[in-house]
Amino acid sequence: MRLFGLETEYGITRDDLAEVDPVVESMELVRAHLTASFERRWDYAGEDPHEDARGFRVSGLAQDKEENEFVERDAHRPFSFHDMKSDLVLPNGARFYNDHTHPEYSTPECRTLKDLLAQDRAGERIVQRAADRRNKTLGGEHVQLYKNNTDFHGHSYGCHDNYLVPRSIPFFRLVAGLLPFLVSRQMITGAGKVGIEAQESGFVPGHFQLSQRADFMETELSVDTMHNRPILNTRDEPHADPRKFRRLHLIIGDANMCEYATALKVGTTRLVLELIERKAVPSLELDQPVAAVKQLSRDSDLKGVVRQKNGSSISGLDIQEQYYRAAVQTFTGLDEETDWVLREWGDTLTLLGQDRRRLIGKLDWVTKLWLLETFMQEERIGWDDPWLASLDLEYHNVHPERGLYLGLEAEGKAWRMTAEADIQRALATGPADTRGGVRGLCVRRFSDQIKSMQWERVRFIGGLLSPTLDMSGLFEPAEVNRCLAIFEAAASPMDALTAWNERKDSRS
């Protein structure tokens, strides 16, 4: 089953204040999206970050203490928890809300890379449009948003990639098959970073590394996401029928500006998951995966090697090469998108080893390094100059007239898979072949009749038991299309639900 999505926490700041309250700023930013008053609609049932995919429930998370302190502090604020979250479901099926201290945009579920990129780019537009409105109210361009993962002072925030996988794959097989791949994936998907950090413990300038998140990886497996961050997060929140599915929730990834890097991040990971399902994954086991993540990130020459459990050494490129070859053997000719991923994955590995300048505009870390080196030459400054961290930050600014990446893209120097029409469509509608499209359609057609909604269901107003569209198993494209057709044609949600349930009953 092919289904994936991205959640992106944006960095937010105001340049007219000495001290910024990120809770208020994030809330105000999300609220700026609205043209009417906020109505609480997000249904938090089904969200329990304490459930662990290894088969148990943890009593507490490392961040619980800090979260509790926030809650206590927030209790004195002049708004409720739900007001603070300001959870919105958008007409494209996406979720846009204040994830406590960061505005977060979660794409609707996507089945194709092209849809995912369009929805991810639509997210950039949505958050920036909200910033524009907020700035209009403030009377100046004060709010700035960054699609990155660090503040260069030891605070990281995430861009999580999510995949629907069959529950029938034992979790230990996912772990074994994914760890070496994820440790080395940053060579393609790293967003690049000036300096070295550690969790909440300062910043050392003078270096350039591949990844923004590598410094914040502290363990191989954990249900935590804010402290003791794992290479592989074990949170078990399937947002689907839990008997049949898992949602693999990867928190190691960087937020990418380059469409090509996003496409390869999700495209290659999806293929590796299918390799694991088919028991065709290469047999690799790293000795110290956490150390290896940092080691590979800090080696922009890509020459370093990491130790395997069997005592031998292997380079990051060779790890990727082994996964790539297994995928070529298993999936060549499967479909057009798969062939595209295989071709580009192979070309990228070759170019990383031979001529990485040809990846400028395609991979973020290569692009950022090229920009910084050019600037250093021009200004005659060295790697320890604090200007470079500022340029790194500005690379990720989503303001079209300020962001360095967006400037590069505007000059036609970045690879694009999306056209402007794709992004405009993604701003207005969700994918036509996933339940994200159905969710968005419900918002567009029956907004005033929705009582609550979340990933799996939409509850409508009416009666003691709210009429509910259950989408926990709505994944087959043909079924999605039928559901969309019914909800498009129906005069009311009740009519749609009646028609949809009759159809389901007649099939069972």
Q: Whose Cβ is closer to other proteins: residue 22's or residue 282's?
A: 22
Which DSSP state fits 384? T
Q: Which of 302, 375, 383, 451 binds other proteins (CB under 8 A)?
A: 375
Residue 20 φ/ψ, nearest 5 degrees: -105, 135
Q: Are the C-beta atoms of residues 340 and 347 closer than 8 Å to each other?
A: no
DSSP helix/strand/coil, 89 = strand
Q: Whose Cβ is closer to other proteins: residue 409's or residue 456's?
A: 409
Q: Which of 57, 447, 489, 504 binds other proteins (CB under 8 A)?
A: 447
Q: Whose Cβ is closer to other proteins: residue 63's or residue 468's?
A: 63
Shortest Cβ distance from residue 362 to other proteins (Å)? Answer: 7
Q: How far apart are CA 410 and CA 401, in angstroms?
A: 9
Q: Tell me the Cα Rg of the chain.
A: 22
Q: Which of 87, 99, 385, 433 is catalytic?
A: 99
By CB under 8 A, tell whether 486 contacts other proteins: no
Sequence-distant (6+) residues with CB within 8 A of 106 are 5, 6, 7, 8, 94, 95, 96
Q: Which of 2, 4, 5, 11 binds other proteins (CB under 8 A)?
A: 11
By CB under 8 A, tell whether 151 contacts other proteins: yes
> Binding residues for other proteins, how many (CB under 8 A)?
88
Q: Which of 55, 139, 412, 463 binds other proteins (CB under 8 A)?
A: 412
- Which one of the spans 51-59, 133-141, 225-233, 324-332 is the region binding other proteins (CB under 8 A)? 225-233
By CB under 8 A, tell whether 374 contacts other proteins: yes
160, with CB counted inside 10 A (0-12, 13-18, 19+), is: buried
Which amino acid makes up residue 444? R
- Give the DSSP H/E element, type plus range, for residue 290: helix 289-297
Shortest Cβ distance from residue 254 to other proteins (Å)? Answer: 13
Residue 450 φ/ψ, nearest 5 degrees: -95, 130
Q: Are the C-beta atoms of residues 88 and 34 closer than 8 Å to each other?
A: yes
- Taking alpha carbons only, the member of 406, 442, 404 closest to residue 423 is 406
By CB under 8 A, tell whether 483 contacts other proteins: no
- Which one of the spans 76-84, 312-320, 326-334, 401-409 is the region binding other proteins (CB under 8 A)? 401-409
Which amino acid makes up residue 406? L
Which DSSP state fits 215? G
- Taking alpha carbons only, the member of 131, 182, 115 closest to residue 425 is 115
Q: Whose Cβ is closer to other proteins: residue 285's or residue 489's?
A: 489
- Give the DSSP H/E element, type plus range, for residue 155: none
- Taking alpha carbons only, the member of 497, 505, 501 closest to residue 459 is 497
Shortest Cβ distance from residue 45 to other proteins (Å)? Answer: 20
Shortest Cβ distance from residue 285 to other proteins (Å)? Answer: 28
Q: Whose Cβ is closer to other proteins: residue 58's or residue 432's?
A: 432
- Which one of the spans 40-48, 222-230, 285-293, 318-326 is the region binding other proteins (CB under 8 A)? 222-230
Q: Whose Cβ is closer to other proteins: residue 100's or residue 314's?
A: 100
By CB under 8 A, tell whether 443 contacts other proteins: yes
- Which one of the spans 73-81, 269-277, 309-317, 425-433 is the region binding other proteins (CB under 8 A)? 425-433
| DSSP for 12-35, written as a single string | EEETT-SS--HHHHHHHHHHHH-S
Q: Which of 278, 413, 503, 504 binds other proteins (CB under 8 A)?
A: 413
Q: Whose Cβ is closer to other proteins: residue 224's or residue 456's?
A: 224
Q: Which of 37, 75, 279, 378 binds other proteins (CB under 8 A)?
A: 378
Q: How far apart are CA 440 and CA 453, in angstroms?
A: 11
Residues 38 to 77 in contact with other proteins, rule: CB under 8 A: 63, 66
Residue 154 φ/ψ, nearest 5 degrees: 90, 15
Residues 71 to 110 in contact with other proteins, rule: CB under 8 A: 90-91, 99-102
Residues 320 to 349 in contact with other proteins, rule: CB under 8 A: 336-337, 340, 343-344, 347
172, with CB counted inside 10 A (0-12, 13-18, 19+), is: exposed
Q: Are the C-beta atoms of residues 185 and 316 closer than 8 Å to each other?
A: no
Residues 226 to 285 in contact with other proteins, rule: CB under 8 A: 226-227, 251, 259-260
- Taking alpha carbons only, the member of 440, 423, 435, 444 closest to residue 128 is 423
Q: Residue 232, by phi and psi: left (phi above 0), alpha (psi -120 to 50) or beta?
A: beta
Active site residue 99: yes
By CB under 8 A, tell whether 402 contacts other proteins: yes
Q: Whose Cβ is closer to other proteins: residue 291's or residue 376's?
A: 376
Q: Whose Cβ is closer to other proteins: residue 401's or residue 505's?
A: 401
Shortest Cβ distance from residue 480 to other proteins (Å)? Answer: 11
Q: Which of 184, 209, 222, 225 binds other proteins (CB under 8 A)?
A: 225
Sequence-distant (6+) residues with CB within 8 A of 407 are none
User: What are the residue numbers of the active site?
Assistant: 99
